Structure 1
Amino acid sequence: MPKYLFRVKLTVDGLKGLLNEGGTARREVVERMIEGLGGRLESMYWAFGDEDLYVTVELPGNTSAAALGLVTSAAGGVRTSTVVLLSPEEIDEAVRQKVEYRAPGA
């Protein structure tokens, strides 16, 4: 199954919810949501810096990842960005593909 990294920034409302519920309660919510899409929560880490939370998941495909990002962002507690993660084997497969390309102005 494809893997995705969700970078999450909490809004003021999201921070209030976190302070009220705590991190483990939020993990349970996230895990149920991902399992409902046919996926699996791989990791979930709170962080300092530009993002508040990093979530790594396995999902059936891009449409499931898009649905997850859309629904969570539309709820108003978070803003998300999604990164598609590739395994070393997937990169090997990409390297073996022949791609014709010419740089602009070349």
Structure 2
Amino acid sequence: MPKYLWRVSYSQEGARGLIAQGGSARQAAIKEMVESVGGHVEVCYFAFGDDDLFVIGDVPNEVAAAALAIRTAATGGAISHTVTLLTPEQIDAAVARKVTYQPPVAAE
């Protein structure tokens, strides 16, 4: 299954919900959501900075990942950014693939 990193930033309303429910309850809700589309959560970490939460997990495909992003955005409690993660073996396959490419050249 494709692996993803979700970077999450809580809105003011979402932060109030986090205060009311706590981190463990939010983690359980996230696991339930990801599992509902056939996925699995590997890890959840709360953080300081531009992002409030990082989640790493997998879901069956891009449609499932999009469904999670749309549902999260629709609630208004958080903004989620989805990042596709690649294994070293996938990068090996990518760099071994023949690609035709012409780089841009400045006009003289």
- With structure 1 as the length reference, what TM-score do the two structures score? 0.97
The Cα offsets for residues 62-106 of structure 1, whole Å up to 9 and x where unpaired, read as 111111011011100000111000001111111110001011126
- In structure 2, runs of 5+ residues without a counterpart are none
Query: Equivalent pairs: percent with the same residue?
Result: 48
Is 1:75–2:51 an aligned residue pair?
A: no
Is 1:86–2:86 an aligned residue pair?
A: yes
Work out the CA distance in 2 between the residues paired with 1:89 and 1:21: 40
The Cα offsets for residues 8-63 of structure 1, whole Å up to 9 and x where unpaired, read as 00000000000000000011111011111000001100001110000011100111
- In structure 1, runs of 5+ residues without a counterpart are none
Work out the CA distance in 2 between the residues paired with 1:89 and 1:101: 23
How many residue pairs end up in the alignment? 106
| Larger CA Rg, structure 1 vs 2 | 2
Work out the CA distance in 2 between the residues paired with 1:55 and 1:90: 21
Work out the CA distance in 1 between the residues paired with 2:70 and 2:42: 20
Work out the CA distance in 1 between the residues paired with 2:96 and 2:67: 31
Matched with 1:9 is 9
Work out the CA distance in 1 between the residues paired with 2:29 and 2:93: 35
Work out the CA distance in 2 between the residues paired with 1:69 and 1:55: 13
The residue matched to 1:98 in structure 2 has which SS?
coil
Superposition map of 1:9-88 within 5 A: 9-88=9-88
RMSD: 0.8
